[in-house]
Amino acid sequence: MNQRLKIMAVSGTLYEKGVQLGKAFRTSIQADMESIHELWKEEDIRDRFLIVKRKLEEKYADLLEEVYGRADGACVDRDDYLLFLCPEIYTYHDSCTDIIVKNHNHEIVGGHNEDGDYNLDNTALVKYQTDYGYLCDFFTTKTLAGGNFCWNSHGMIFTGNSIYVKHMNHIGIPCWFILRRVVDARSIEEVLSLFDNQDAASGFNFNVIDTNVHRAISIEFRLDIRSVIEVNDKFAHSNHFTTEVGLPLSKKGSNSKFRLQKSLEFLNKYSLNYRRVDEKDILNILQYRGKTAKTSILDTKYPQITAATFIYNSKRQIAIYCYLDHYKYRISYDMSNLFSDDCESSMELFSI
């Protein structure tokens, strides 16, 4: 087992990058396929998969190359791994919390809790070498870039939260493909022009920060529903719709509503004396823990859901607090220095 979050780079075509990732995470991917083999026994899942695969071949054939590269690199069946990356066909989860603040001088600070069933063997910080520079992604074998948090050399930062929807579109386009399409964008305008949610399989909240113009937006979408919020003050989001009246708030048993209300409560408290909300304030909010999982924003104790906290600002400074496998440490650097000596030296243990 790894002792620290792996940092690696991949290059070449989308297929070649996929092969490199598949080889690096072969053991984890092969283990995940055991549960997928059971899913094929259900006729409904087989039928849904064929419909979804056909849609992806028509609209996202380029991204399928990366998926198939991962499968080939890991020596697993391509359809098995594709089904694994189309969770709306067979399951649902809600996870993650976001906070964004635009201060009076237009400086943007923000943070994101990445929640999910991750460990140090299926997760890494991956730098995708691209024609324009790079895309850095909090990679997991369970998602495509854009599904967790990432940033690119255009100065764009992306974070996201799944949103519970009562009736999922089991034969729609999986969110991972919708999000992967836009994370190479150079501006918010380009993100919006590329964003196609007309046949989305489930709901998602996607947050975009352009550090070049100190601008942030938050997108909520499901099927043909899409709303865009311009962030000009204090903003928080968890796992339910906030802009569409009549849509369900959250999945029964979820603490999404608590996480949102608690985040806003803290943000309002910090702003009472009219001081600037900074990265430390956002980290304090995202690391808030109550007595139970239902009364916590950070969950590293109960079912141990939270994998990492991602903190950033519009000066392109980044810090990642990793909680995986009980090994807690902090990595901080400029957005462009993922492989610098300073990055390695900044890995330090911390306690929460």
pLDDT tens sequence across 65-96: 999 999 999 999 999 999 999 999 988 666 89
**CA 262 – CA 224 distance, rounded (Å):** 30
Q: At what angle do helices 61-74 and 26-39 cross, to 10 degrees?
A: 110
Residue 214 in domain: yes
Estimate to the nearest angstrom the gap between the alpha carbon of 342 and the chain centroid: 25
57 and 143 both lie in a single domain = no
Q: What is the Cα–Cα distance from 281 to 55, expressed in whole angstroms?
A: 44
Pair 188, 314 in one domain? yes
- Cα–Cα distances in angstroms (integers) from residue 152 to residues 63, 289, 320, 335, in the given order: 18, 31, 16, 8
Judged against a pLDDT cut of 80, whether residue 266 lies above it is answered with: yes
Amino acid identity of 129? Q
pLDDT band with cut points at 50, 70 and 90 for residue 225: confident
- The verdict on 59 and 166 lying in the same domain is no
Tell me the mean pLDDT in the region 227-239: 94
Candidate from 108-117, 256-265, 341-350 with smallest mean pLDDT: 341-350
Residue 53 forms part of a structural domain:
yes
Question: Are the C-beta atoms of residues 31 and 149 closer than 8 Å to each other?
Answer: no
Same domain, 327 and 306: yes
Q: Quick one: average pLDDT of 22-32?
A: 97
In a domain, 5, yes or no: no
Examine residue 91 and state whether it is found in any structural domain, yes or no: no
Where residue 231 sits, what CATH number does that domain have?
Answer: 3.60.60.10
Domain that holds residue 46: 10-85
Do residues 217 and 263 share a domain?
yes
Q: Are 106 and 183 in a shared domain?
A: yes
37 and 172 in a common domain: no
Task: Say if residues 108 and 209 touch (Cβ distance below 8 Å).
Answer: yes
Q: How many structural domains does the chain have?
A: 2
Query: What does residue 57 show for φ and ψ, rounded to 5 degrees?
Result: -65, -30
